[in-house]
Structure 1
Amino acid sequence: MPAKARKAAAEPAPRNDREKSVDEIYERIYVAILEHRLHPGTKLGEERMAEIFGVSRARIREVLARLAHEQIVELFPQRGAYVAKPTTEQARDVFEARRLIEPAVLKRLIETITPDKVNRLRQHTELEADAHRRNDKRAVIRLSGEFHTLVAELAGNSALARSMRELCMLTCLTIFLYDAPTAQSCRNDEHERIVDAVAKKDRARAEKLMLDHLDHIEGSLKLDNSNGDADLEAIFK
């Protein structure tokens, strides 16, 4: 191999390539949790995860650190990383935070609403309705969580959108851990009614529907045991 080629091969990947890889792994884990394929309490072993994704353990540590910063993963010295298991107190805190944040998100969305934003929301609720018709439970769970993050993104406040993404993930873990059946915890017409109110710029109704929606989800939770064992390769392959 020519010296120039050897030098190029030895150079580290460009920073944006590294970030893309980290983002991709992060997103794969995020979606696996959102779809309830990755359970609360599951150990995310660095070596096993590195083998599955074909990257270094250092890169996996970077992903896990990011997830830990967002409280999606818990890191324990000498034990490793585990998918978070919210306590009942933490679950109540999450719903309290959502009751404070989501009305503010709706207020900003309605103030900046456009036909394009309404269309995007309606397209999303159509995907949810289709998933319900097909009885695709994984898609229903994922799309239900993504609806709330989409609302925050369309509101145009990056800090609110970031907070909603984290809160929706913690809600997903809480629902899995304390067992709220999908069909009852997130009825397929609730999001549609919220979108209708937003489209009409009826802030009071939109906020009431959202708060009722959150009350309904939290009210369906019950204390349950969870199993932390999972086949990581089957989840990500």
Structure 2
Amino acid sequence: MPATARKSPPARAERESSVDEIYERIYVAILEHRLHPGTKLGEERLADIFGVSRARIREVLARLAHEQIVELFPQRGAYVAKPTIEQARDIFEARRLIEPAVLRRLVDTHTPDKVQRLRQHVELEHDARRRNDKRAVIRLSGEFHTLLAELAGNYALSRSMRELCMLTCLTIFLYDAPTSQSCRDDEHQMIIDAVARRDAARAEEIMLEHLDHIEGSLQLDQGNGEADLESIFRD
């Protein structure tokens, strides 16, 4: 009995680590547009790909569903979320309310280290664009906004922004917004400059214009919902 007790914590840690790893890989695949809106996420196929039980896959899918990244349908299974036009508008309305609050808090808690982290991130965006690495551009563009919320130091805002940025990413793919126009790194740089000057009003103004540009780039389009899960997750 004592030996069993000693083995339990590592086993639990291994399970949690595995769930976190699978969650992150699916999350990044969606963020990088390798998994498309409407793609079916078959439990059995994913369990085979990741070498885990279907129960563990269900745990991952439930977590993604809680964050509205995945939709679960009785008798049909799990699918990558496919936001409607109305939902897309709701996403941008929420971002217009939340992101100015993020910037105000970030300006209030301004430090040189925070500004440096933002500048380093934008340099990664510049580099990805120079290399024409579209997947990295998509991922880094979304992560810029979640980084703003993280540095602002409010967990609730940070979690909300992570979910909203993922839903925005799905919307951009679904409605065929050009990556180069949808989230421009020059506007990211302008936001950082305003934060560095502690000019909250200007930072908010640029952010709202930035969100207008993203939403304005959307075009109605239909995805086919098909994807080869094995080719996505097996290198």
Aligned to 2:111: 114
The count of aligned residue pairs is: 234
Cα drift, residue 16 of structure 1 = 2.2
- Tell me, yes or no, if structure 1 residue 218 matches structure 2 residue 225: no
**Kept after mapping to 2: 8 A contact 1:49/1:60:** yes
**Kept after mapping to 2: 8 A contact 1:73/1:83:** yes
Secondary structure at the counterpart of residue 183 of structure 1: helix
Equivalent residue for 1:169, pick from 153, 166, 169: 166
Aligned to 2:150: 153
Equivalent residue for 2:54, pick from 52, 57, 69: 57
**Kept after mapping to 2: 8 A contact 1:132/1:188:** no
Gaps of 5+ in 1: none
Equivalent residue for 2:78, pick from 57, 69, 81: 81
**Kept after mapping to 2: 8 A contact 1:40/1:176:** yes
Equivalent residue for 1:28, pick from 8, 25, 33: 25
Cα deviation 1:24-70 (Å, max 9, x = unaligned): 11100110011000000000000000001111100000000000011
Cα drift, residue 188 of structure 1 = 2.3
**Pairing of 1:96-107 with structure 2 (within 5 A):** 96-107=93-104
Secondary structure at the counterpart of residue 119 of structure 1: helix
- Tell me, yes or no, if structure 1 residue 201 matches structure 2 residue 193: no
Alignment partners' CA distance in 2, 1:12 and 1:122: 40
Cα drift, residue 14 of structure 1 = 2.5
Secondary structure at the counterpart of residue 74 of structure 1: strand
Cα drift, residue 236 of structure 1 = 0.8
Gaps of 5+ in 2: none
**Kept after mapping to 2: 8 A contact 1:25/1:63:** yes
Secondary structure at the counterpart of residue 90 of structure 1: helix
Secondary structure at the counterpart of residue 22 of structure 1: helix
Alignment partners' CA distance in 1, 2:28 and 2:220: 24
Secondary structure at the counterpart of residue 189 of structure 1: helix
Pairwise CA RMSD: 1.8
Alignment partners' CA distance in 2, 1:122 and 1:40: 31
Cα drift, residue 19 of structure 1 = 1.2
Secondary structure at the counterpart of residue 14 of structure 1: helix
TM-score, normalised via structure 2 length? 0.96
